[in-house]
């Protein structure tokens, strides 16, 4: 009988009880005896030289324990925050990698750059004192945007990065692309901006450092998606603390979306300061600090061209992108606009030749790194906007041009011209499912009905494919990663048959405590209540590479399966011994170990007990205990894919865009918990819709001041901005190279949604001759576009 | 300057000497150790800090503790029954997967309870409008809306929210 809480069941989440009753344990909830509070003094300038810091008055304020600066860190030989990925430019030279100190030493390079930290008895006292720190700045000219950064004569963010260029990189066969364009019957072109976003996890970043003088051990409790990586980076490169003396705990974490992958300076500051002041030190960002200092996402300016033959078959794609990396290199920053972006430019299409150039630049803005989707939404948006333009050039239906160019299912595994090999996918099937869901044939009638009411209706399609399950270490290493990207799991059976699983994956909303337990319950035929999932503590988990890139299930789940395989092998030996049978005669099903052809069998619980009470074990052949650990390094990326369809209605009088319907058809491979998967899609969709219609992180180009520094200025999607969704997935194309057949679902919604919404908005405005609009399609922008369109559509045009 | 603040929190009378500028959320989190109420922004926008003061939802990050002097305050920790039985709204959030990271959840649930108190049978549009002051970054609101609808029905006694077995 199938396990009611096994694979495929919508098990209600086990973590919800504590979250719903206020018993979550987030970093800021921790309180230690004698704990102090840190507040950072941050630069109000985007670019300035630090001439001096006077903190005498601050240090004398009530409750102040210490005021520490970059000079103190330098004296203690604190290092620079390391970058985890190295990119080489076209000419073979390595990227520019300027130092990034946790507290600035002589120059600040973005608004929010930390220059000092005040530590006091209470947060309020620290905040009061921080306001009394006087920093003597010599303001320097600033660079507030990527286009300004490469404008000849722009100020230099780093003296050793000429023209502000970090790297100038390319991928693909330029000659083949040029030849295809020379012979093309039609060319579609687009210029677009993928605007900067602020991830905005609802829990602001926080960190608490502790130092135990008697043992010499440090503990960092932090809002991290990957505590082991933080331990490695901070321990080895910044503070010089060996792993066995540094514990990093990432407890309940209130959302990440990429922004909590990275090692941040504040983590090093509180850990270092805890030893300096001899007391625990806690720092919690307020939302303003989050806006200023969390790594941002996206920020591309691109030009793209698509060559086609006379029938609309894609011949070649040429892309040129300018990517803004901000003031310093965040942990994974260089990989995002390169190997997580340009490698996805084939999309779902069999375009035979692709060439992409990416110039990445420094600016006086917050660092930019992975944000949900990380490079793949940028790729999807570019391709899918361009394909809509191409449909216009060809006079073809937007679904037809896509269908004509899909990589057919039969071509799998398919080698793209941009390095990836897709394992599975049936793109036509996704579209076939989507079209009736959205009643595509009825669209023109709905459009006419809207028009009769004075409204503009549009429909937009986006197909996407992403490379997830990051990543095969050998591939990542060849491409510049300075780490392996495997995952680790340990499965520990206890004597009475309950199980504790230790996973290097980290859950910050994804529900691993439920999903991973389902996998174990299914495998061993045990109640889910008997399985506990432990994550987020380097002292408990053997190792981990954390959660990002939709990798938890595909990589962490696979490590779990591998560890369970080992447990089963060991259990089989024990069963053979107990049942006095040959190991080869033991059959295993749902956690029962049976001697083939007999009714002699044992449950996994009986075996676990014997494993810990080995009174008659042949000890030279059989060790006591039932506790196994495994590392899993994926063989390939996984390739979730799908088709998203959005229908909008625009009020031309106000410019307000309303999403009338949104359908997402996805292929995530096998699904463990449908309820959780659907929830991941819903959330992803709204982040994509947020980019399309609402969100925009704006810096003043000249001053480098963050204009959108709070929820008053940065428009977050709210409940009344978005609709309910039609979400649908199929399991016909499981991943072929991991044991669960899973592909990952965390980023899909965000990747497809922005393109689908914008294609719908542009479609709605097509009567006005609009072929493109940059995001976000705010009411003001839409209204101005309609107003500026010349000539306004005549009744005759409207009737067409 | 400090002052004495007294109030009833989750049915218990509490009294503390605090700085006058102490916010209600800081009073709850730092002085009473009730860390279920969260701070997600500085501008009274996100709603992670919503509690009930004399039965009405209030953003505790922009309320001084002294303003709640003498009041009845309920936080997320006080919503479930004494025996641990979840409030119907809490149960509905669980049943309909109305939470992911859990950070906005306490404020969202407290807002939802007050919303239903004012409008016992809200439509989807009314739920969405009623939760406009609470930001969730994880769920896309889809399942929150379903949960609030179900929670409202359960609160009305039309049908108890089912409590799923694990």
Residue B121 lies inside a defined structural domain of this protein = yes
- Domain membership of residue B98 (yes or no) is yes
A616 has a chain B CB within 8 A of its CB: no
Percent of chain B whose predicted confidence (pLDDT) is above 70: 95
In CATH terms, are A31-140+203-254+260-293 and A297-470+636-799 the same topology?
no
Distance CA(B34)–CA(A31), nearest Å, equals 12
Residue B160 clears pLDDT 80, i.e. is over it: no
Residue B161 in any domain: the answer is no
Nearest-CB residue to B99 (from A19, A684, A724): A19
pTM above 0.90, yes or no: yes
Of B156, B101, B154, B105, which is closest to residue B131 (Cα–Cα)? B105
State the Cα–Cα distance between residues A657 and A761, nearest whole angstrom.
8
Contacts of A183 (CB under 8 A, 6+ apart): A307, A315
Tens-digit pLDDT profile for residues A359-372: 999 999 999 999 99
Asked if the structure places residue B113 within a domain, the reply is yes
Decide if B165 is inside a domain: no
Distance CA B49, CA A119 (A): 26
- Window 528-547 of A: residues touching B by CB (8 A cutoff) are 528-529
Helices (H), A456-557: 473-478, 512-524
Question: Domain span at residue B113?
Answer: 88-155
Give pLDDT tens digits for A446-474.
999 999 999 999 999 999 999 999 999 99
Count of CB contacts below 8 A, A vs B?
183
Residue from B21, B61, B101 to probe the interface with A (highest A Cβ count within 10 Å): B101
Domain boundary assignment for chain A = 31-140+203-254+260-293, 297-470+636-799, 486-632
Domain final position from B46, B78, B110: B78
Closest CA–CA distance from residue B8 to any residue of chain A (Å): 18
Q: Are residues B99 and B70 in the same domain?
A: no
Which chain A positions have a beta carbon within 8 Å of B135's beta carbon?
202, 711, 716, 718
Residues B57, B124, single domain; the answer is no
A31-140+203-254+260-293: which CATH number, 3.90.1170.50, 1.10.1040.10, 3.40.1130.10, 3.40.190.80? 3.90.1170.50
Element (H, E) at A657: strand A656-667
| DSSP state, residue A223 | -
CATH topology of domain A297-470+636-799: Aldehyde Oxidoreductase; domain 4 (3.30.365)
- Mind spelling out the 3-state secondary structure of A556-578? HHHHHHHHHHHHHHHHHHHHHHH
Q: Which residues of A touch B39 (CB under 8 A)?
A: 28, 204, 286
In chain A, which residues have their Cβ closer than 8 Å to the Cβ of B102? Answer: 15-16, 18-20, 24, 252, 254, 509
- For chain A, how far is it from start to end, CA to CA, in angstroms? 60
The pLDDT score that the predictor gives to residue A790 is: 66
Q: Inspect the interface and report whether the beta carbons of B137 and A255 lie closer than 8 Å.
A: yes
First to last CA, chain B: 51
d(CA A115, CA A194): 31
Interchain CB contact of A710 with B (< 8 Å):
yes
Nearest C-alpha neighbor of A638 from the set A739, A750, A556, A744: A744
User: Per the CB < 8 Å rule, is B140 touching A287?
Assistant: no
Cα–Cα distance for residue pair A473/A468, rounded to 1 Å: 13
**pLDDT at residue A799, as a whole number:** 44
CB atoms within 10 A of CB A442: 10
The confidence score (pLDDT) of residue B1 equals 78
B40: CATH: 3.10.20.30
Residue B162 pLDDT greater than 70, yes or no = no
- Phi, psi dihedrals of residue A679, rounded to the nearest 5°: -60, -40
CATH topology of domain A486-632: Aldehyde Oxidoreductase; domain 4 (3.30.365)
d(CA A38, CA A267): 11
Determine, yes or no, domain membership for B160. no
Tokens coding A425: 């996918």
Confidence at residue A166, expressed as pLDDT on a 0 to 100 scale: 98
Residue B159 predicted with pLDDT over 50: no
Q: Which residues, listed in sequence order, are joined to residue A94 by a DSSP beta bridge?
A: A88
The pair phi, psi for residue A65, each rounded to 5°, is: -100, -40
pLDDT-derived band at B165 (thresholds 50, 70, 90) equals very low
CATH number, domain containing residue B121: 1.10.150.120
User: B164 vs A722: CB contact, 8 Å cut-off?
Assistant: no
- Overall domain count for chain B: 2
CB-CB contact of A744 with A555 (8 Å): no
Cα A639 from Cα A469, distance rounded (Å): 8
pLDDT of residue A793: 56
What DSSP assignment string belongs to A122-187?
A: SHHHHHHHHTT-EEEEEE-----SHHHHTSTTPPPSSTTSGGGEEEEEEEE-HHHHHHHHHT-SEE
Which among A725, A740, A744, A767 has a CA at the least distance from the CA of A677? A744
Count, residues in chain B = 166
Mean pLDDT of chain A: 97
* Nearest-CB residue to A287 (from B41, B132, B140): B41
A-proximal residues of B, 127-166, CB under 8 Å: 127-129, 131-132, 134-145, 164, 166
B53 and B111 belong to one structural domain: no
Are A170 and A418 in contact, with CB atoms under 8 Å apart? no
Q: Is there a single domain that holds both residue B25 and residue B66?
A: yes
Q: What tokens appear for A599 in the block?
A: 């009714």
**How would you write A285-322 as a 3-class SS string?**
CCHHHHHHHCCEEEEEEEEEEEEECCCCCEEEEEEEEE
Q: Which residues of chain A have pLDDT under 50?
A: 796-800
Closest CA to A688 of A730, A709, A659, A655: A659
Tell me the nearest-neighbour CA distance from A124 into chain B, angstroms.
Answer: 9
The residue-averaged pLDDT of B85-93 equals 97
Shared domain check, B52 and B15: yes
Residue B157's pLDDT is 85
CA distance B83 to A448: 58
> Would you place residue B166 in the very low, low, confident or very high pLDDT band (cuts 50, 70, 90)?
very low
């Amino acid at each position: 009988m199938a396990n009611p809480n096994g694979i495929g069941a919508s098990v209600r989440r086990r973590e919800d009880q504590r979250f719903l009753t206020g018993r979550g344990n987030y970093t800021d909830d921790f309180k230690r005896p004698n704990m102090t509070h840190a507040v950072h003094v941050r630069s109000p300038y985007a670019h300035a030289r630090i001439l001096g810091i006077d903190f005498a008055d601050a240090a004398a304020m009530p409750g102040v324990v210490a005021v520490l600066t970059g000079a103190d860190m330098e004296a203690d030989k604190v290092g620079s925050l390391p970058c985890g990925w190295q990119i080489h430019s076209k000419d073979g030279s390595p990227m520019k990698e300027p130092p990034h100190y946790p507290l600035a030493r002589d120059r600040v390079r973005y608004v929010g750059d930390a220059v000092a930290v005040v530590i006091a008895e209470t947060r309020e006292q620290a905040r009061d004192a921080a306001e009394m720190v006087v920093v003597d700045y010599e303001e320097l000219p600033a660079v507030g945007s990527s286009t300004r950064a490469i404008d000849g004569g722009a100020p230099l963010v780093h003296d050793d990065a000429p023209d502000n260029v970090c790297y100038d990189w390319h991928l693909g066969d330029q000659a083949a692309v040029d030849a295809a364009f020379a012979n093309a019957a039609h060319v579609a072109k687009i210029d677009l901006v993928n605007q900067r976003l602020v991830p905005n996890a609802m829990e602001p970043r926080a960190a608490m450092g502790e130092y135990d003088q008697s043992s010499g051990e440090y503990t960092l409790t932090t809002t991290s998606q990957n505590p082991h990586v933080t331990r490695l980076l901070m321990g080895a490169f910044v503070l010089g603390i060996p792993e066995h003396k540094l514990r990093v705990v990432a407890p309940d974490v209130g959302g990440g979306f990429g922004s909590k992958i990275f090692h941040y300076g504040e983590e090093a500051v509180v850990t270092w300061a805890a030893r300096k002041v001899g007391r625990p030190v806690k720092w919690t960002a307020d939302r303003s600090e989050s806006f200023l200092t969390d790594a941002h996402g996206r920020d591309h300016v691109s030009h793209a061209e698509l060559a086609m033959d006379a029938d609309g078959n894609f011949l070649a794609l040429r892309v040129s992108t300018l990517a803004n990396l901000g003031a310093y290199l965040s942990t994974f920053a260089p990989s995002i606009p390169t190997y997580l972006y340009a490698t996805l430019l084939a999309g779902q299409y069999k375009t035979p030749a692709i060439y992409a150039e990416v110039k990445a630049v420094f600016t006086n803005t917050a660092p930019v790194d992975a944000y949900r989707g990380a490079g793949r939404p940028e790729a999807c948006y570019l391709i899918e906007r361009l394909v809509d333009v191409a449909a216009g050039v060809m006079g073809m239906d937007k679904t037809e041009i896509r269908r004509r160019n899909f990589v057919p299912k039969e071509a799998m595994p398919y080698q793209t011209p941009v390095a990836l090999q897709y394992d599975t996918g049936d793109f036509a099937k996704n579209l076939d499912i989507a079209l009736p869901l959205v009643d595509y044939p009825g669209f023109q009638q709905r459009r006419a009905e809207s028009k009769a009411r004075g409204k503009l209706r549009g429909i937009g399609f986006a197909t996407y494919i992403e490379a997830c399950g990051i990543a095969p270490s050998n591939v990542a290493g060849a491409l510049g990663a300075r780490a392996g990207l495997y995952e680790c799991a340990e499965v520990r059976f206890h004597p009475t048959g309950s199980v504790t699983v230790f996973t290097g994956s980290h859950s910050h909303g994804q529900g691993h405590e439920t999903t991973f337990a389902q996998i174990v319950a299914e495998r061993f035929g045990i109640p889910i209540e008997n399985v506990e999932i432990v994550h987020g503590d380097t002292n408990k988990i053997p190792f981990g590479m954390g959660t990002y890139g939709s990798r938890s299930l595909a990589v962490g789940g696979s490590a779990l399966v591998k560890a369970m395989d080992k447990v089963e092998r060991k259990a089989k030996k024990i069963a053979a011994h107990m049942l006095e049978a040959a190991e080869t005669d033991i059959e295993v099903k749902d956690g029962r170990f049976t001697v083939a052809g007999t009714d002699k069998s044992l449950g996994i619980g009986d075996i676990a007990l014997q494993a810990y009470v080995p009174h008659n074990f042949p000890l030279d052949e059989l060790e006591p205990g039932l506790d196994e650990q495994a590392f899993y390094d994926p063989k390939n990326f996984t390739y979730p894919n799908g088709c998203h369809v959005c229908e909008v209605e625009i009020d031309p009088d106000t410019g307000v865009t309303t999403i009338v319907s949104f359908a997402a058809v996805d292929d995530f491979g096998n699904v463990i918990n449908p309820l959780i998967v659907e929830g991941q899609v819903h959330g992803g969709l709204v982040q994509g819709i947020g980019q399309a219609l609402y969100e925009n992180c704006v810096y003043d180009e000249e001053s480098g001041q963050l204009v959108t520094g709070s929820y008053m200025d940065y428009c977050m999607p709210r409940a009344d901005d978005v609709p309910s969704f039609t979400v649908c997935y199929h399991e016909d194309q499981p991943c072929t190279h991991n044991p669960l057949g899973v592909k990952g679902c965390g980023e899909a919604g965000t990747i497809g949604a922005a393109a689908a919404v914008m294609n719908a908005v542009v479609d709605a405005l097509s009567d006005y001759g609009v072929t493109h609009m940059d995001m976000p399609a705010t009411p003001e922008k839409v209204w101005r576009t309609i107003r500026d369109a010349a000539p306004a559509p005549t009744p005759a045009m409207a009737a067409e | 300057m400090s002052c004495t603040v007294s109030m009833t929190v989750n049915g218990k009378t509490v009294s503390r000497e605090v700085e006058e500028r102490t916010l209600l959320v800081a009073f709850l989190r730092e002085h009473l150790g009730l860390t279920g109420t969260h701070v997600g922004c500085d501008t009274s926008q996100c709603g992670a800090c919503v509690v009930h003061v004399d039965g009405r939802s209030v953003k505790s990050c922009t309320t001084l503790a002294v303003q709640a002097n003498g009041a009845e305050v309920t936080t997320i920790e006080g919503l479930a029954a004494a025996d641990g039985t979840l409030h119907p709204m809490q149960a509905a959030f669980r049943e309909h997967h109305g939470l992911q990271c859990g950070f906005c959840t306490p404020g969202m649930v407290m807002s939802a309870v007050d919303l239903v108190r004012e409008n016992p049978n809200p439509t989807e549009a009314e739920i969405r409008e009623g939760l406009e002051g609470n930001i969730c970054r994880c769920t896309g609101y889809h399942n929150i809306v379903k949960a609030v609808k179900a929670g409202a029905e359960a609160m009305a006694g039309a049908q108890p929210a089912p409590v799923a077995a694990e």
